[in-house]
Structure 1
Amino acid sequence: MLLPEADTSLEYWDVHKDSAEASGTWCAYILGGAAAGEAVAGGTRWRQPTHSLSLSPAEQRRYRLRFQWVADYEAARRAIADAGLVDVEVMPGMTVPNDLHVDIALASSIPVERIEAEFTGDTVVQRLPDRAGRRLWRVRFSRLGENRLTLHQPGARQTFLEFFATEPVETMMKKRATFIVKRQHRDPSKWYDGLFGEWNMETQVLLGPDNYDRIKGWRIYEVTCDDPGLSKPAYLATKNAEHPDVAEVAALDRYIDTFVWGGLQRTTQEAYAYGLYGIPDWKQNRESSDPGPKGRLHIWRPYDYPHIFAMYLAMHRIARDHPAIPTHQSARDYLVRAYGTALAMFTVPMRVVMWSAYRTGICNECVIPELVSALTTAGLTREAATLEAHWARKVRAFVDPKADLFKSEYPFDSTAFESTQALARSALDDPVAMGVSKAAARAFAERQIAANLFCRGWLEPAYYYLGSDYRRTAGDAYTLTYMAQMGGWALLDHALNDADDPHPLLRLGYASQLSAWALLNSGPASAGHGYWYPGEENDGAAGGGFEPAPSGTTWLGQPHHRGTWYYSCEIDLGFCGAVRAAATIVADDPIFGQVCHGGIMETFAHTLRIWPRDGVRRRLNVRLQSLRLDLVLLDARFRADRPIILNLGEGWISLTPEPFAPSASGVTFELRYDDGRKRKEVVDITDSQIVIRLPAARLPRVQR
């Protein structure tokens, strides 16, 4: 570690290019006033205060920086605190929905005396009792966007924390879906009728194959296909499986009927059925004079397939679970499409160019176990067994100790950390079916989660670092990528199911799955409809990543001055992960005490009243010292305006469901206890409220 000592600080950084070809020299500034001033004059949105110093020839000023080895994250935190700096823990994260508060725990050998808000009239700062050797505060933000908190220590020492306040998660989920549908191309005379278009928030221009706007060269594929183009329908369908909207489902069916089937995707009447066309777009490939893999058989990129079968699987759920929502096909038909596309991922690229999907983690493929289960339930047992065999083969390939967990399009890539956790989950839950030993499954699970962590911001108290995945440039460029939230799902799954001490990873995982919502440009009219690019037309638009540097160029080739991209690129993959990770989690945290991630909680004696605010309202995880359980509503949501009541003294849970089907007379729930036992029931809801009794063996001992 590099630690500044007394009267020394690092307040600004940039990268100096030595030549047009050089990657540049990273420079940190002890006094950044001059450099930051030039950057701000050039349009940079630098927010932390900087200073300047003038010395006469006879004057001197000494600054000191200390290098120090540390063994692990906990040792790093102790080193920070011992040096008089501030070690920061937060709950639930540094991207904070404005219907939730954030708790902050600070440790330092020079204790923090007070916290000062940047926007005092829009921020409530409340001191809490000390816990676990830390000073605690609770903060509520009402002003959307970036919010800086200043920590004051004796001797005029200051530390700055960067938070981002958003609208409620459920509001953002719905706004993003609404925005995507508004930007759908709807012109039957165009070959790309049905395409969900890219959008430039800066100029409010809709992109399409006839107008690539500022995207140049080979990157034009971003508009129609590959991860960026296919992420939008994947997210739209995933959201609608939770919160269906008639117009949005109709837009998805139009996309499937006019753009995908027989266009982007080969039909069952064609060779290589279910194959998906890659870059630059399906029309150029289908009309190519080259009959081979660079033309009419450009269907060999396995990365494309999961987004489409995730979309079909979500459409299956919509048709199955929401009978009041019209769909163009039956639930079974969507399910067959999902199966065919998933099978094609493993078979078509291998047949065309010998590209194996077994040794590469791919975004969105984590839904394969759910797809296998849906096939089994639908009576498609042969298809379920076939797909599970392919998945098991992939599990074995990754459990192998010699497996490269990072292989992707680059020698190192962080895009697999959702997939590797899903593979680990299957290996741990059913090692016999997957063909691996319990010991090998456990070793793989620990190895891949360690890799997830070393590519993730954890100690850095800024919303664009905490929980973000890191690429080769670490925190210098392109943070809050789609893998921030997808990898956050992985951290939460590991914390809830596998970790001996779940609480540090619950905090980090929840911060991760909230983090990239900061890239969504959303807000009420009073707040300009969004922080990054105000205007009603941009409400619900999103950036593809965050650039922390004062200036530079985004991956898509556009100049930036710190902040979010104005193209969404692949970020909807992250929003897919956020929907999957959305849960309300109650835990006995060793630092913060009894907490509720993703919800509001009131405690009365041995009774907890919990209002879910996670965005999905179907999953409740309890990790208390006296009770561990997981409750999932399979065909309903928790009512947003009624609390879940957890009575620890008498041993019951009471909830008011909001059924998916308005005419439903019952709802189905699944309850899993900490010993792995599961209980699945259909409960009558004549009186609207459900009371679930907990087994006596699971009840805490209560002293009267």
Structure 2
Amino acid sequence: MWQSYAKLNPIKPEEQFWYDKNRKKWYSYTSFDTSMIDRFMQNQLDGNLALRGLFEPGYANLGTAWSGQYVNLDYMTQMGGVALLDYAYRFSDRPDRYINYGYNSLLASWALMNTGTKKTDFGYWYRGEQNDGAVGWAFSPYQNSRTYMNYIKVGRAPWRFDGEIDHGLTGGIHGSGVYLLDDPDFGLIGYGGNVRMDKDGTVSIIPFDGVRRQVRIMTPVRFSVELMQDGFRKDYPITLRGTEELSFCIENRSDKPHNTTIRAEGMPEGKYTVMTDHKMITTFNIEAGNAHHPYYIEVPVTDKHTQVKLLKTN
């Protein structure tokens, strides 16, 4: 979203911003109303939510993008869900209001996949091993309906051909991760992972999102960690001790020694030490006012698994 970029990277007035070669003139903007960024973002958010079963959260409606009266679960379901999750993490003072809808959207369009086992003849909607793993363009919720092309009639099922759902599935993978928040109804909860807190307040998160590369923390402070390569180790906890320590284990997915880049965003102001397998790798500082700007850390991954700790030292 361009408005997200505008919020995180303040725009300054500029003369001779760009030159039109055809009209042979410069265009400038010497002043502008920054409140328009917030208004546009709110309009986008309201429009996004209006498609997602906000007022009628039935099992077939919640999270889906209704792009018309006869189709749902299309590619905008997951892509719009990613936008809701980003808004919840970056801008909302009540992330619980949006993560529920966003994560529902993130998962929804996977229902279009036709898959199964030999016992189920490899699919519920379209039988046969040749159809195993295929995915439809969108879903018809009605028994007698049509596709975008009026002359193609369909029943209640995923469409038998594909169009843009690859964009949706890409969005689903892009937004996959663990979202940890303090929900007003359920308490401490993790979307995309199992969460436990011990008597000392240490939080353990087992990621189950399928990609295992991203964790977004909403409490006690808001920050995120993303692995640009490899992934978090399967069935192994990501551990959070207040605001002082985050530890996790990297799973080597290339089967050879290399460096993995960690993208950290929103880390509280202070000095940090990075350790892998009990060895100090580097230190870095997060200065006031730079919380929303990502910091990139390279760590060596030499074995099948590498233990990493981010320690706040002041």
**Per-residue CA distance 1:382-420 (angstroms, 9 max, x = gap):** xxxxxxxxxxxxxxxxxxxxxxxxxxxxxxxxxxxxxxx
> Partner of 1:432 in structure 2?
11
> Partner of 1:623 in structure 2?
218
> Partner of 1:636 in structure 2?
230
> Partner of 1:132 in structure 2?
none
**Per-residue CA distance 1:265-309 (angstroms, 9 max, x = gap):** xxxxxxxxxxxxxxxxxxxxxxxxxxxxxxxxxxxxxxxxxxxxx
Cα distance change, pair 550–600 in 1 and its aligned pair in 2 (3 A): same
Any conservation in 2 of the 1:529–1:535 contact (CA below 8 Å)?
yes
Deviation at 1:665, TM superposition (A): 4.4
What are structure 2's unaligned runs of at least 5 residues? 15-31, 268-290
Partner-residue secondary structure (3-state), 1:484: helix
Question: In the alignment, is residue 537 of structure 1 matched against residue 130 of structure 2?
Answer: yes
Question: In the alignment, is residue 593 of structure 1 matched against residue 187 of structure 2?
Answer: yes
For 1:618, the aligned partner's letter is R
Cα distance change, pair 447–569 in 1 and its aligned pair in 2 (3 A): same
- Matching residue within 94, 97, 122 for 1:501: 94
> Partner of 1:105 in structure 2?
none
What are structure 1's unaligned runs of at least 5 residues? 1-421, 697-704
Any conservation in 2 of the 1:635–1:667 contact (CA below 8 Å)?
yes
Cα distance change, pair 531–593 in 1 and its aligned pair in 2 (3 A): farther
Cα distance change, pair 562–665 in 1 and its aligned pair in 2 (3 A): closer
Deviation at 1:632, TM superposition (A): 1.0
CA distance in structure 1 between the aligned counterparts of 2:33 and 2:231, rounded to whole angstroms? 37
Equivalence map 1:671-682=2 (5 Å): 671-673=264-266, 675-676=291-292, 678-682=294-298
> Partner of 2:178 in structure 1?
584
> Partner of 1:663 in structure 2?
256
Equivalence map 1:213-228=2 (5 Å): none
> Partner of 1:603 in structure 2?
197
> Partner of 2:109 in structure 1?
516
CA distance in structure 1 between the aligned counterparts of 2:204 and 2:299, rounded to whole angstroms? 21
For 2:107, the aligned partner's letter is L
- Matching residue within 42, 49, 59 for 1:463: 59
> Partner of 2:28 in structure 1?
none
- Matching residue within 693, 696, 702 for 2:311: 693
> Partner of 1:37 in structure 2?
none
Question: In the alignment, is residue 571 of structure 1 matched against residue 165 of structure 2?
Answer: yes
Cα distance change, pair 433–565 in 1 and its aligned pair in 2 (3 A): farther
CA distance in structure 2 between the aligned counterparts of 1:593 and 1:695, rounded to whole angstroms? 29
Any conservation in 1 of the 2:147–2:153 contact (CA below 8 Å)?
yes
CA distance in structure 1 between the aligned counterparts of 2:13 and 2:110, rounded to whole angstroms? 35
Greater Rg, structure 1 or structure 2?
A: 1
Deviation at 1:601, TM superposition (A): 2.2
Cα distance change, pair 520–610 in 1 and its aligned pair in 2 (3 A): same
Question: In the alignment, is residue 452 of structure 1 matched against residue 70 of structure 2?
Answer: no
Deviation at 1:496, TM superposition (A): 0.9
**Per-residue CA distance 1:573-601 (angstroms, 9 max, x = gap):** 21121122112111111122111111222
- Matching residue within 110, 118, 129 for 1:525: 118
CA distance in structure 1 between the aligned counterparts of 2:250 and 2:12, rounded to whole angstroms? 35
Cα distance change, pair 591–658 in 1 and its aligned pair in 2 (3 A): same
CA distance in structure 2 between the aligned counterparts of 1:470 and 1:547, rounded to whole angstroms? 11
CA distance in structure 2 between the aligned counterparts of 1:541 and 1:433, rounded to whole angstroms? 48
Q: How many residues align?
A: 270
Cα distance change, pair 585–633 in 1 and its aligned pair in 2 (3 A): same
Partner-residue secondary structure (3-state), 1:496: helix
Cα distance change, pair 434–604 in 1 and its aligned pair in 2 (3 A): farther
Question: In the alignment, is residue 441 of structure 1 matched against residue 37 of structure 2?
Answer: yes
Partner-residue secondary structure (3-state), 2:11: helix
Equivalence map 1:24-173=2 (5 Å): none
Cα distance change, pair 695–631 in 1 and its aligned pair in 2 (3 A): farther
Equivalence map 1:480-491=2 (5 Å): 480-491=73-84
Any conservation in 2 of the 1:426–1:434 contact (CA below 8 Å)?
no
> Partner of 1:405 in structure 2?
none
Q: TM-score by structure 1 length? A: 0.36
Partner-residue secondary structure (3-state), 1:611: strand
Any conservation in 1 of the 2:226–2:263 contact (CA below 8 Å)?
yes
Any conservation in 2 of the 1:456–1:467 contact (CA below 8 Å)?
yes
Deviation at 1:565, TM superposition (A): 1.2
CA distance in structure 2 between the aligned counterparts of 1:594 and 1:517, rounded to whole angstroms? 26
For 1:599, the aligned partner's letter is G
For 1:459, the aligned partner's letter is F
Q: CA RMSD in A?
A: 2.3
Question: In the alignment, is residue 652 of structure 1 matched against residue 245 of structure 2?
Answer: yes
- Matching residue within 143, 146, 151 for 1:550: 143
Any conservation in 2 of the 1:622–1:628 contact (CA below 8 Å)?
yes
Any conservation in 2 of the 1:617–1:638 contact (CA below 8 Å)?
yes
Any conservation in 1 of the 2:84–2:102 contact (CA below 8 Å)?
yes
Deviation at 1:660, TM superposition (A): 4.8
> Partner of 1:335 in structure 2?
none
Identity %: 32
Any conservation in 2 of the 1:428–1:438 contact (CA below 8 Å)?
no
> Partner of 1:310 in structure 2?
none
**Per-residue CA distance 1:352-397 (angstroms, 9 max, x = gap):** xxxxxxxxxxxxxxxxxxxxxxxxxxxxxxxxxxxxxxxxxxxxxx
For 2:129, the aligned partner's letter is E
CA distance in structure 1 between the aligned counterparts of 2:192 and 2:128, rounded to whole angstroms? 29
CA distance in structure 2 between the aligned counterparts of 1:528 and 1:627, rounded to whole angstroms? 48
CA distance in structure 1 between the aligned counterparts of 2:67 and 2:123, rounded to whole angstroms? 28
**Per-residue CA distance 1:234-272 (angstroms, 9 max, x = gap):** xxxxxxxxxxxxxxxxxxxxxxxxxxxxxxxxxxxxxxx
Equivalence map 1:361-400=2 (5 Å): none
